[in-house]
Chains A and B, each alone.
Chain A
Amino acid sequence: MPLITYRKALNEAFAEELTRDESVFLMGEEVAEYNGAYKVTEGLWERFGSKRVVDTPISEAAFLGLGVGAAMMGLRPVVELMFWSFAYVGFDQIINNAGCVRYMSGGLINVPMVIRGPANGGTNVGATHSHTPENFLANTPGLKVVAPATPYDAKGLMISSIRDNDTVCFMENTLLYGDIGEVPEGSYTIPLGVADIKREGTDISFIAHGRAVLTALAAAEILATEHGISAEVVDLRSIRPLDEEAILNSVAKTHRALLVDESKPFCGISSQIATLIAEQAFDELDAPVARVTALDAPAIYSMPLEKLQLPTAERVVAKALTLF
């Protein structure tokens, strides 16, 4: 199987869908002639032309609204945000329009749009460029939220997201764009709402999404070699819909849950999962549900401190050891 980057895996997903379905088009700041700020759309403008790969002005509210309108009229826009941090000026379009139209039209109008781009901290770009808004969006009934950790998942989930009839908020990560993994050629889909056990274990469940999955895997390796503890890593892949069964099955197997989440702890994704476990797996718990999240402060600009703000394998190991 070819080894390609996370960035290339996404690029292949776009090429597959642009070829397969004429209603699919890409747009965003610098996605066309400049090949994308992070080169995720490299070569696509040249191959598919200006009608299918569209550069936009620097106005997220405007082009997100354009995307909603196009989707309502039957097209399948894939809208790039240079950073998910820039989505906030377009929240009215995302939440009030994309998220609510199907409900408010009595199911007559769908908004089959993908909104995508990096949603991560850890790159020394400051508080206003380092948001991880998956919890805001997952809080909105009507929106779907996806956060792949690997190149394989990125391609399969992107193709599913483009084909989905609801708006999917696709959270990428600039720190993962260069990661290399095995990715099949051609088209394949990964259903939204199906988690993946990235590592089997028996003693504790690490539940994570996005890059935190890799942090959890590194921590699991340390726990196995240095402490004889077998950690299972559950990669949610999609946050809404959420694979509750996978979470509950894993907790029922290991009886301990540690949630690893790069977003903030207050009202975060991990809060939701902790609630789920407390409500539905209470009697399976042999220790309190624990979390390792970003430290609860705006993204720290100091590079050494920023590295400590996000979950690290060491923090995960240390927290895990408090549960035994």
Chain B
Amino acid sequence: MPEITMPKLSDTMTEGTLLRWCKQKGDKIEIGDLLAEVETDKATMEMESFEEGILTELFVPAGAKVAIGAPIALILGKNETAIAPGTPAQGPAKATAPAAAAPATSPLFAGRSRSAIPGRTGTTSSERIKASPLARKIAASRGLALGGLTGKGTGPGGRIIAADVVNAPLTGAAPAASGAPGIPAIMPTPITGNPETQIPLSNMRQVIAQRLLASKTQIPHFYLSIEIDAAPMVAFRKEFNTTGTKITFNDIVLLATARAAMEKPKVNAAFGNGVIFQYESVNLAVAIAVEDGLVTPVIRDAQKLSLAQVSAAVKDLATRARDKKLKPEEYAGGTITVSNLGAFGIDQFCAIINPPQAAILAVGAIVKKPVVNEHDQIVIGQRLNLTLSGDHRVVDGAVAAEYLGVLRQLLECPSRLLL
């Protein structure tokens, strides 16, 4: 017997205004039907139903402000009844009425105690989604609604646990926020004469879609590119690898990124609610391509590691990422990200910031090209292009430029990374 609650539609949302009901009491509801329009702190959003049945109760009138998680409506399936026999039907419903006059959150909870009655006395499933605190936390951090996982929990008593949120092929747990704020998402329709295959979104694709859409629409990106002399790196790596420990160019870039971020900590930051979070240590997120997507596991305190340790950490994360063996906490807590497409032959690109971080470094391939040396001669150089995407709310151009300068110094004299 699903009770519909006010969803969390943005990172900073604490309550939403129910602007308009799109359905009336008594309407038949299908999964995906538009239920209501909700105004959040950021935008007006459409709220879809994850449930099917009859819209039996509307607990809140249009215009009311509602706290996240507070019940707003009740959808009953076949053979479900809202109220145990003998329970006064009108009492709690009246309790919601003052919400219209004084848009406050407290009267809404009256709806909860009322609908809890059949959950306890009847045979219908509980209206409250039974999920572990950790599962709720992970779902919230990814902007997923748990409603779609109802009945699919694998914990004791059908509880939704962390693994269900992380691993399940989620056709149901749809992103709580879809589409750019305020702008209806443009959806494809079948094209005559060109039949399509509809590939269901994996959980990973959903998360990528949701987070990167949020990043590109909410974070004011700017981009700075530099081309550095990679010849010292090439020589350094060749010499280093004679020691028996093999490192990659990317390992060198990763450690330099972390060390440089310690020198210019303003890039090792995130835009918070009214504050900027500036971190003391670099938790380096590394973009790793896997089947059907990419993941960004985190190397904690990366600046404290040696090159060999960074190399080993990346290898381990990449292997386990491809085997889907990474744990949720290994994705969490990154403070800056590196994405390297050099191995795919990309010389230069601009990456989308990995929210809520403030910067991402896009690393291209080392390419041989003619360069003008200090004697004004054209010689063959080894060049590497780095592009930093910054969140302009946190980092200004000059700060990002200084950061790239430090990074250049490290990479053009990579033996400093041995210190």
Interface residues of A (CB under 8 A from B): 202, 252-253, 255, 282-287, 322-324
In the assembled complex, the Cα of A283 lies from the Cα of B138 at a distance in Å of 9
Residue B135 at the chain A interface, CB threshold 8 Å: yes
Query: Cβ of A282 and Cβ of B156 under 8 Å apart?
Result: no
- Of the candidates B134, B162, B329, the one having the most CB atoms from chain A within 10 angstroms of its own CB is B134
Query: Cβ of A286 and Cβ of B161 under 8 Å apart?
Result: yes
Interface size on B, residues (CB 8 A): 14
Contacts of B65 in A (CB 8 A): none
Cβ of A145 to closest chain B Cβ, rounded Å: 30
In the assembled complex, the Cα of A202 lies from the Cα of B328 at a distance in Å of 13
Residue B155 at the chain A interface, CB threshold 8 Å: yes
In the assembled complex, the Cα of A282 lies from the Cα of B133 at a distance in Å of 6
Query: Cβ of B156 and Cβ of A283 under 8 Å apart?
Result: no
Contacts of B163 in A (CB 8 A): 286
- Of the candidates A202, A252, A283, A322, the one having the most CB atoms from chain B within 10 angstroms of its own CB is A283
Give the contacting residue for B134; candidates A202, A283, A323, A324; CB below 8 A.
Answer: A283
Residue B136 at the chain A interface, CB threshold 8 Å: yes
Residue B132 at the chain A interface, CB threshold 8 Å: yes
Residue B25 at the chain A interface, CB threshold 8 Å: no
Query: Cβ of A287 and Cβ of B155 under 8 Å apart?
Result: yes
Cβ of B149 to closest chain A Cβ, rounded Å: 14
Contacts of A284 in B (CB 8 A): 133-134, 137
Query: Cβ of A255 and Cβ of B134 under 8 Å apart?
Result: yes
Contact with A along B132-163 (1 / 0, CB 8 A): 11111100000000000000000110010111
Cβ contacts A to B, 16 pairs, < 8 Å = A202-B327, A252-B329, A253-B329, A282-B133, A283-B134, A284-B133, A284-B137, A285-B132, A285-B134, A286-B161, A286-B162, A286-B163, A287-B132, A322-B156, A323-B156, A324-B156
In the assembled complex, the Cα of A69 lies from the Cα of B135 at a distance in Å of 55
Contacts of B159 in A (CB 8 A): 287
Give the contacting residue for B133; candidates A253, A283, A322; CB below 8 A.
Answer: A283
Cβ of B133 to closest chain A Cβ, rounded Å: 5
Chain A, residue nearest B136 (CB): A283
In the assembled complex, the Cα of A255 lies from the Cα of B136 at a distance in Å of 13
Sample of 13 more A-B contacts, CB < 8 Å, known A255-B134, A283-B137: A202-B327, A252-B329, A255-B132, A255-B162, A282-B133, A283-B134, A283-B136, A285-B132, A285-B134, A286-B135, A286-B155, A287-B132, A324-B156
Query: Cβ of B156 and Cβ of A286 under 8 Å apart?
Result: no
Cβ of A258 to closest chain B Cβ, rounded Å: 13
Chain A, residue nearest B134 (CB): A286
Query: Cβ of A287 and Cβ of B137 under 8 Å apart?
Result: no
Chain A, residue nearest B328 (CB): A255
In the assembled complex, the Cα of A287 lies from the Cα of B155 at a distance in Å of 8
- Of the candidates B133, B135, B156, B329, the one having the most CB atoms from chain A within 10 angstroms of its own CB is B133
Query: Cβ of A285 and Cβ of B156 under 8 Å apart?
Result: no
Contacts of A287 in B (CB 8 A): 132, 155-156, 159, 161
Cβ of A202 to closest chain B Cβ, rounded Å: 8
Closest 8 CB pairs of A and B: A286-B134, A283-B137, A286-B132, A286-B162, A283-B133, A285-B133, A286-B161, A282-B133
Contacts of B329 in A (CB 8 A): 252-253
